[in-house]
Amino acid sequence: MNAREPTPIAAKPLTLYGVEIASRLLLGTARYPSPQIMGNAVKASRASIVTVSVRREAARANTGQRFFELIKALGVRVMPNTAGCRSAKEAVTTAQMARELFGTDWIKLEVIGNDDTLQPDVYGLVEAAGALTKDGFKVFPYTTEDLVVAERLVAAGCEVLMPWGAPIGTGRGLANRYALKSLRKYFAGMPLIIDAGIGAPSHAAEALEMGFDAVLLNTAVASAADPARMAQAFAMAIEAGRAAYEAGLMEMRDMAAPSTPVAGTPFFDLDRSS
């Protein structure tokens, strides 16, 4: 009699702005050695959403157009982003251009305030988010882990938040775990996606174990010696992290606790003087 194949346990679906998304890995499309390598990485990651910098690719003229066509051929949802924008006005204009180019009202909103850390300008971010939601956009704001900023973004109409793990491209993982955990608990019913700073599959798994709904990354895959294999590693780590979260992780303890029960264990008297 042949052993039965184990039945896969499906994770609960991720829903963003009313759309069910199959994968909890979102992948950026910048910095790859070639378009073909990028395409192979996207396929290996099984990502359902890829992000594209409108400003960068539009600046490439004909080359940029071919890049857009390649992305569309991958059969994934394209989420344009406003990377490189330094003001709310600039970000809004870029988002409007992206909607015309890709025919989507989904936008990853970035308004950068510091050139060294690429930290978001949270004032411009909230301003742009409010303007875009009023214009019918589904906004995915790249923000910090600051709770007050998150509240302002929700008030501006955002139904998804994308707090950074660490500054873009640093690969440092989850730099402020306490604040991220607080954010996750405070916005218990809202999709939260860790964006930026993820450098290893273990970082991504930790984010999902903490209850975050998905991870967006780019550099960790694009800069790998084998981007497709690294993308696959991230996909497996994210799947494992989410499964662990849904299964229920054990609580940490300060003292050891035996995994083998002591009830019924025989004890021998080694005092032979009697």
Active site residues: 108
Query: Residue 238: CB partners within 8 Å, gap ≥ 6?
Result: 23, 24, 25, 201, 204, 205, 208, 214, 215
Residue 64: strand, helix, or coil: helix
The beta-strand segments (E) located in the chain are 14-16, 19-21, 25-28, 49-53, 77-81, 106-109, 138-143, 162-163, 193-195, 214-217
Sign (positive or negative) of CA dihedral 82, 84, 86, 90: negative
